[in-house]
Structure 1
Amino acid sequence: MIRVTWKGLVARPIRTALTTLAIVVGVAFVCAAYTLTDTMSGAADTLTHAAYDGTDAVVVTKTTFKGSQTSDIRAQAPTIPASTLERVRGARGVTTAVGDITDTAQVIGAEGKPVGTGPYFGVGFDARTPGAERLTPFRLDTGRWATGPGEVVIDRATAEDQDYAVGDRIKVAARGEAQTFTLTGIANFAGVKSLGKASAAVFDLEAARTLFAKDGYDRILVAGRRADIAGAAGAGTEVRTAAEDDRFSFDSLETLVNILRTILLAFAAVAVLVGSFTIFNSLSITVAQRTKEFGLLRMVGATRRQVRAAVLLEALTVGLLASVLGIGVGLGLAEGLNALFTAVGAELPTDSMTLATRTIVISLAVGTLATVLAAMIPARRATRIAPVAALRAATHAATPGLFARGVRALASLVGRPSAAVGGAAGALARRNAMRNPGRTAVTALALTIGVALVTAVTVVATGLENESRGALDRRVQATNVVTAADGWSPIDPKVATAIGGTSSSIRQDGALVFGSQEGVNGVDPATIGRFYRYDFTAGGIAADGAIVDEGFAKEHQLRVGSLLSLTAMSGNTLELTVSGIERSPVLDVLGLGPITISHQAFDATFEQVRNRLTFTDHDATDALAAFPNVQSQTKAEFIDGQTAWIGMILAILWVLLALAVIVSLFGIVNTLVLSTFERMRELGTLRALGFSRRQVRRMVRHESVITALIGATLGIAVGLVLALVVVQLLGEYGLAFTFPAGSLIAVAVIAALAGMIAATLPARRASKIDVLKALAYE
């Protein structure tokens, strides 16, 4: 039976190839998901080890909590006094100790704009102290370290991107206006291939203190025994491991990679599921077509168990072959996905592609098991073929499937345009789709899954974008908004001075409130109302009070007049009275914290002196010529920039889901090719009655389009229901149900075009059959 099975696969190369391709894409997706994220994770590990392994301990100022750096919590820690450095160096067991500054600095490219999209590392490094290179992740590639004011070292990727060389005069924006520096060296960050969209500028340590307006150091990096450091550093300090300090925020990078892996594997599961439907449908059809073959096997002594084993062996062979091919395709797909993330501005640090043993094992297991499981029902069906079936003409029972009655009615409805415009060929295509609704349903169901997910994601993302844009349009009253070039980084207060005219800025920091970290906004009560509208449900803005959003107030049972206590990282405590409660989106694309206080109270409590953004009543582009790391946007441009990430995510999801749809197209091709063999006599009869080759091709194409439109129609309906459920469950986060008619029409049109493309090969094969052989076919 093993030999018979393998000979059968070899004898039907087209069917075997098409069945194999259906699962190749799914396995490729699994392999690509693990390969790409393993590569990114490996790069993150390399970065982490390089950044922290040479440092035995980090001394920082003792804080009340470890600050977060999120969209609405930007906690700024106080610096450690410079005098502490000498005490740490004198501690027993310390071999090397250097001050460190890690801030934000943007390398300005030849076009006058910052290179990359961040993060922008600005580092102060003490190259004069022997052994200091052990404590930095940067490794000189060419040139020398910066040793004084006006000198800088940048990362190699940025230098190559801008064609900068040692000795060039380049501009770097740190605090205040961009300054010109001499490029003394080019360095690598560890040994990774790319830092993604990040860049790094390394300055002399003391020059960095002046550049970043630091009255001390952000931390002291130590090589030596940690136990001997705490006493020397003093009571106001804290000793951490370098990883605990995480000055380059690599924990966030690891978290992002894990999230990306989960998303990619979810879509891989969809692709494998869709491929399984194709395998199931293909084997169901071939079992029905091989009735006489299985009957003869039973007559010559094959048992039911042997017949079932033969079908499962066929599936196992196809699954293994597809899985091996899928791994090869997956490596190329991983490169393609990485290029996609780069194209949409979401590039992450990577190194050379990593194909782990775990990836190979999982890919083989997923592809093989999915194929074998999909073959279980067809294998069981094959065992029910009686030996006497070999003595009569083969009868091809329709494949029992899902939604048979509904699919018949839907095929009738969707197929009416084909019958109207396709003549006799279109009418026959409609009848063919109706004749075996079970098979049509299973073929269309693969496409339904992909289209349903496309629809649900599109509806939810469109609703989120519309709600976010509407909320920003209502809240922002300024004609222009000044932000960092990346829209996220803090901007120097000198920018607000340079703008001129009337303006109002928002600063952000983090505080401990009711035992949790919360974002705190600092505003000017006298001017903010002109540029930003608060939707107050109670009270209003006051110079000596605090505005809290409605969700925060409900969570902590606050009302106007309630007392509110904030504790900064430095330990400073601020006691305030709630002066107003305002309604704001739970998912706020503007990234404001739930608590807003006056600039006066903010500046007296928190370390942050840079602004998150500045509202103004005029275009400040000319006034900001000396600040290339900031931008003046109109209100419309600002809203576009703040909501651009939604479109970016939607674009990525569309591409990923498109791969699942491609798998379903293999199913349509496979079904049409197999049905061509099944209907050989029927096609021969049509040709004998006068059907031209062109009409046969048209009939097959219309049948494919009808099947694709059934899948698209069901997918859109299911997707709308899924989106409605998601909106109902997550409505409090600003999601709203929006019907994107244009996008859904585009989905239907694309499905129809995909159906025509899928029919190209089957239609051509059907039109080339020999009429006499077809009439004699059994």
Structure 2
Amino acid sequence: MANNTSMRKISLRNIAAHKLRLALTVLAVVLGTAFISGAFMFTNSLNQSLQSAVSSTYDGVDAVVTPAEGASVLSRDIREAIAADEKVANVNVTASETVVLATGDEEPIQTGGGTASLAPWYNPDTVVGAPNPLVEGEAPAAVDDIVLNQKGAENFGVSVGDELLVVDPEERRTMTVTGLYEMEFDQGQSLSAYMPEEAFLERYTLDGATSQLIVSAVEGTSDTDLVAHLEDTREGLEVETGAKLAEEMSEVLSQALSFVNYFLVAFGLVALLVGTFLIANTFSMIVAQRTKEFALLRALGAARMQITRSVVFEAFLVGVLGSALGVLAGVGLVAAIKGIMSAQGMSLPDSGLGLSTSAVVVPVILGTLVTIISAWLPARRAGEVRPVEAMRSTEASTDQPLGVRTILGVLLMVVGVAAALAGALMADSATSTRAILVGIGAFGVIVGFFFAGPAMSLPIVPTLGRVIGAPFGAIGRLAATNSRRNPRRTATTAFALTLGVALVTAIGMLGDTMKASISDVVENNVSADFILSGPTAGSFPTPAGTPDAVRDVEGVDQVLTMSMAPVLVDDRATNQFGDFAQTTLLDGNVTDMIAIEMREGTADLGSGPGVLAAAGFAEDNGWEVGDVLPLTAPGLSEEVREVEVIGIFEPNNLLNNMVLSQESVDGLLPPGALEVNMVGVVADGSVDRDQLRANLEEAVKGFIVVQVMSTDEMAGQAGQAIDQMLNILYALLALAVIIAILGIVNTLTLGVIERRQEIGMLRAVGSQRRQIRTMITLEAVQIAVFGAVMGIIIGLGLGWAFLEVLSGEGLDTISVPWPMLLWMLLGSAVVGVLAAVWPARRAAKTPPLDAISG
């Protein structure tokens, strides 16, 4: 009987002798593990960079002062009192105002994904924390002086002495760039402007009140001593050390980044799952081709378990090798991503490569386990080879019965379909319950298809083969016949592509449905012809002067303004989250801007003070038409007014809870407290829509920031954001498709090795190399198209079920991206052609006499 040491030697020699046969399997492991390893390392790099940025933010900050619970701001008196404290060296205001910068000829500076902001400047002798040293020019001194970050200024072509338009939510001003400063972690994608402290406080705060102060201690006083002193001597404050806040912020960042890590690792696991079938398929073929070798070993005394263990040992070696290479590939992947980000101006300073124990050990263990599990069934099959098989003249694989696995697969698919249907149709059940049922259904359908796939391929693949091969005559018919010979292999090869295409189809349906639903919401709920608003990036409001600027424009019938203000009606607000409360205001008839259905009363808020309430909101608060309710502005005014409920409307996607007439708050709020969200314009029909748009754009040109949009454009803008999100998902899913392509390459290559004599015979009877290449290519296209068709069918079914579950969350217009599916089907044929290039060339080079002599 052969001993285990001898079997291991045989395994090692087999691997050394058949490098090509296992190379693609190793590559599948590499891709899956590289993605997981890269996910860990990239998250670590990102975390290190952000932690470094947080630490530098609080360097030199001994104490951070914020209002105590129940208070909203720190007054000027409090700030001056802290600054006068004997234990305090310096006090800085931490405040920032989002602005839009433009050149003198009113051309906005487009920062793209960056921002433009304005904050108070402190000289090195008064700054708390790390200073921003000037590298050119002088510090800001006059009220309209600013300094800019050097890299941002260079990137956007701004120099010392330039005059810029600075547009804030209230007005626009011309300011002069007096200097440039150096800022740590400056990517050059944003413009960070600073102006004198007093000028900033006067212009952008209410009486100098702010929400946070950073404080440094005098020499000889520690940060903890300063914090204790301020807490003991000042009431109504919350004080923490800068170090503690840095630590807390670091923890929050780590938690936020853990989601990114889980997200990326999930796609790595999908890649490994797809790779599992490729690995299993490869080992199945290798075992089939080595039947004679195993039979000889059995005849020489090797036991069944020894044969099985030898194949598992080979899988272990492949798994370890592939996983180790995957970790190295992950390092390269992270380096490439960081290089691309750096070229785009988004470098990650102080981040390193993100190497950690988990980034190395987890992928290696996962990749090795997946490889061993994938090879287990083929290994058992190898152990069952009988010694008599040594007398076979060839090593061609023999088909196994499909009955049991087909029955099991059909049962699983039936159960899966039933569970998915139940989840989709149980409208009265909880969303979570329905989602779980659809998830169970997806698992049942996918696993069931894996088992039943070979039987299903028998009628489908040859039919596809005949259609695809029709233009190629006898070679096309031969390729169709070949695809029937090993349905197990065909289906397993196609399954990897099926899984990837099913995921892409389901996600594509989700994205298309989201866009369709948003489009329906906008088109069905916006009654104004045009909407004017501020930049969509961030929360920049519409300039307050916009309504007056367009009121007398040719073609305009009505102008309505929707605003937000921190006021309460009967202690309720439109949007209320803890201490944050904002109520929607409108200065005209609501139906002229938003299509709402009134249940009772009037929708006209332009004829006097009043409030409209959504039906459910009114019912929850016990409001009825005619009720007179108190109107207050906590923290901003002590005055209490009264406002009447003049109407109740049906729930609306764009208008929730309640809306108050703008007249109700006139004189109640200080300047700057009311924020314009959007302005609606209703046309009078005297000019066409294109001319009206041009007139509106000309009227608001001076504001720099105002965008003029129709309802179609509003929906399209939201659709662009969805497309960006989907593109990230598609890019990640592309990895699964790449592995599926490798699976087809692998199967064809091993098939060429297995069919060496057959191909040699075809060459001997006159088949040309071109015809052999065509035959192999057609077989690959059949496999790819079969996988794509089944993936689309499964993806459509599961996507529909999933979207039915989400119909109660606003996704009630299920849409199918038919053009994308058509391109995906055509793309699968191209995938087949590309996957067949190398195996087909190898097959065409088979020497006829050598093959026959084998």
Normalising TM by the smaller chain, what interval? Answer: 0.7 to 0.9
Q: Which residue number in structure 2 is paired with residue 430 of structure 1?
A: 480
Is the Cα contact below 8 Å between 1:520 and 1:594 reproduced in 2?
no
Q: Which residue number in structure 2 is paired with residue 125 of structure 1?
A: 120
For 2:175, what is the secondary structure of its paired residue? Answer: strand
Q: Does 1:89 align with 2:79?
A: no
Q: Which residue number in structure 2 is paired with residue 534 of structure 1?
A: 596
- Give the Cα–Cα distance (whole angstroms) in 1 for the partners of residues 330 and 731 of structure 2: 15
Q: Which residue number in structure 1 is paired with residue 198 of structure 2?
A: 206
Q: Which residue number in structure 2 is paired with residue 714 of structure 1?
A: 790
Is the Cα contact below 8 Å between 2:311 and 2:375 reproduced in 1?
yes
The 3 A distance-change label for structure 1 pair 480 and 114 is farther
Larger RCO of the pair (alpha carbons < 8 Å, separation 6+): 1
Is the Cα contact below 8 Å between 1:538 and 1:560 reproduced in 2?
yes
Map of 1:32-181 to 2, 5 A cutoff? 32-62=38-68, 64=70, 79-91=73-85, 93-108=87-102, 112-117=107-112, 120=115, 122-128=117-123, 130-134=125-129, 145-175=139-169, 176-181=171-176
- Give the Cα–Cα distance (whole angstroms) in 1 for the partners of residues 777 and 201 of structure 2: 71
- Give the Cα–Cα distance (whole angstroms) in 2 for the partners of residues 129 and 339 of structure 1: 34
After superposition, the C-alpha distances for 1:740-763 in whole angstroms (9 at most, x for unaligned) are 211111111111111110011111
Q: Which residue number in structure 2 is paired with residue 388 of structure 1?
A: 388
Q: Which residue number in structure 2 is paired with residue 356 of structure 1?
A: 355
Is the Cα contact below 8 Å between 1:548 and 1:581 reproduced in 2?
yes
After superposition, the C-alpha distances for 1:200-234 in whole angstroms (9 at most, x for unaligned) are 22222112124435421423222342233246555
Q: Which residue number in structure 2 is paired with residue 71 of structure 1?
A: none
Q: Does 1:524 align with 2:575?
A: no
Letter in 1 for 2:480: R
The 3 A distance-change label for structure 1 pair 243 and 714 is farther
For 1:130, what is the secondary structure of its paired residue? Answer: coil
The 3 A distance-change label for structure 1 pair 155 and 239 is same
Q: Does 1:474 align with 2:474?
A: no
The 3 A distance-change label for structure 1 pair 605 and 595 is farther
- Give the Cα–Cα distance (whole angstroms) in 2 for the partners of residues 775 and 616 of structure 1: 83
The answer to which of 592-601 and 488-497 deviates more is 592-601
Q: Which residue number in structure 2 is paired with residue 491 of structure 1?
A: 542
Map of 1:314-325 to 2, 5 A cutoff? 314-325=314-325
The answer to which of 490-499 and 465-474 deviates more is 490-499
Q: Which residue number in structure 1 is paired with residue 411 of structure 2?
A: none
The 3 A distance-change label for structure 1 pair 141 and 458 is farther
- Give the Cα–Cα distance (whole angstroms) in 2 for the partners of residues 657 and 562 of structure 1: 56
The 3 A distance-change label for structure 1 pair 773 and 129 is closer
Map of 1:578-727 to 2, 5 A cutoff? 579-585=647-653, 594-601=657-664, 604=668, 608-617=673-682, 618-619=692-693, 620-727=696-803
The 3 A distance-change label for structure 1 pair 758 and 594 is farther
- Give the Cα–Cα distance (whole angstroms) in 1 for the partners of residues 665 and 725 of structure 2: 35
1:168 is displaced (CA, Å) by 4.2
Map of 1:230-249 to 2, 5 A cutoff? 230=231, 233-235=234-236, 237-239=237-239
After superposition, the C-alpha distances for 1:576-634 in whole angstroms (9 at most, x for unaligned) are 7764243334xx7xxx7644333345674797423222223454322333332332334
- Give the Cα–Cα distance (whole angstroms) in 2 for the partners of residues 758 and 583 of structure 1: 54
Pick aligned residue for 2:9 from 3, 8, 21: 3
Is the Cα contact below 8 Å between 1:319 and 1:368 reproduced in 2?
yes
- Give the Cα–Cα distance (whole angstroms) in 1 for the partners of residues 67 and 705 of structure 2: 30
Q: Which residue number in structure 2 is paired with residue 290 of structure 1?
A: 290
After superposition, the C-alpha distances for 1:449-502 in whole angstroms (9 at most, x for unaligned) are 110110001111101101101211222233332222335422331334434434
- Give the Cα–Cα distance (whole angstroms) in 1 for the partners of residues 331 and 597 of structure 2: 51
After superposition, the C-alpha distances for 1:6-38 in whole angstroms (9 at most, x for unaligned) are 322222222222112222222222133223333
The answer to which of 270-279 and 220-229 deviates more is 220-229
For 1:422, what is the secondary structure of its paired residue? Answer: helix
- Give the Cα–Cα distance (whole angstroms) in 2 for the partners of residues 563 and 336 of structure 1: 64
Map of 1:307-386 to 2, 5 A cutoff? 307-334=307-334, 352=351, 354-357=353-356, 358-386=358-386
- Give the Cα–Cα distance (whole angstroms) in 2 for the partners of residues 114 and 245 of structure 1: 34
Q: Does 1:507 align with 2:536?
A: no
For 1:411, what is the secondary structure of its paired residue? Answer: helix
After superposition, the C-alpha distances for 1:271-309 in whole angstroms (9 at most, x for unaligned) are 111111111100111011101111222333333333223
After superposition, the C-alpha distances for 1:248-288 in whole angstroms (9 at most, x for unaligned) are 99999767644433332222111111111111100111011
- Give the Cα–Cα distance (whole angstroms) in 2 for the partners of residues 742 and 549 of structure 1: 40
Letter in 2 for 1:180: M
After superposition, the C-alpha distances for 1:640-698 in whole angstroms (9 at most, x for unaligned) are 22332111112222222122101110000000000111111221222223322112111
Taking only aligned residues, the RMSD between alpha carbons, in angstroms, comes to 3.7
Q: Does 1:223 align with 2:216?
A: yes
The normalised TM-score by structure 1 is 0.87
For 1:96, what is the secondary structure of its paired residue? Answer: strand
After superposition, the C-alpha distances for 1:321-377 in whole angstroms (9 at most, x for unaligned) are 22233233334444666789999x997977645322121222222222222221121
Is the Cα contact below 8 Å between 1:705 and 1:753 reproduced in 2?
yes
Letter in 2 for 1:647: D
Letter in 2 for 1:223: S
For 2:542, what is the secondary structure of its paired residue? Answer: coil
- Give the Cα–Cα distance (whole angstroms) in 1 for the partners of residues 249 and 148 of structure 2: 19
The normalised TM-score by structure 2 is 0.79
Q: Which residue number in structure 2 is paired with residue 740 of structure 1?
A: 817
- Give the Cα–Cα distance (whole angstroms) in 2 for the partners of residues 570 and 288 of structure 1: 80
Letter in 1 for 2:262: T
Letter in 2 for 1:319: G
- Give the Cα–Cα distance (whole angstroms) in 1 for the partners of residues 846 and 520 of structure 2: 60
- Give the Cα–Cα distance (whole angstroms) in 2 for the partners of residues 217 and 630 of structure 1: 29
The 3 A distance-change label for structure 1 pair 346 and 200 is same
After superposition, the C-alpha distances for 1:94-153 in whole angstroms (9 at most, x for unaligned) are 3322233222123447992344246636343341483424177x5656555434323223
Q: Does 1:305 align with 2:305?
A: yes
Letter in 1 for 2:175: T
For 1:134, what is the secondary structure of its paired residue? Answer: coil
Q: Which residue number in structure 1 is paired with residue 833 of structure 2?
A: 756
After superposition, the C-alpha distances for 1:172-225 in whole angstroms (9 at most, x for unaligned) are 33341253321412332x4x3638x65422222112124435421423222342
For 1:699, what is the secondary structure of its paired residue? Answer: helix
Is the Cα contact below 8 Å between 2:320 and 2:364 reproduced in 1?
yes
1:164 is displaced (CA, Å) by 3.3
Structure of greater Rg: 2
1:383 is displaced (CA, Å) by 1.3
The 3 A distance-change label for structure 1 pair 82 and 650 is same
1:391 is displaced (CA, Å) by 2.9
For 2:39, what is the secondary structure of its paired residue? Answer: helix
For 2:276, what is the secondary structure of its paired residue? Answer: helix
1:528 is displaced (CA, Å) by 4.2
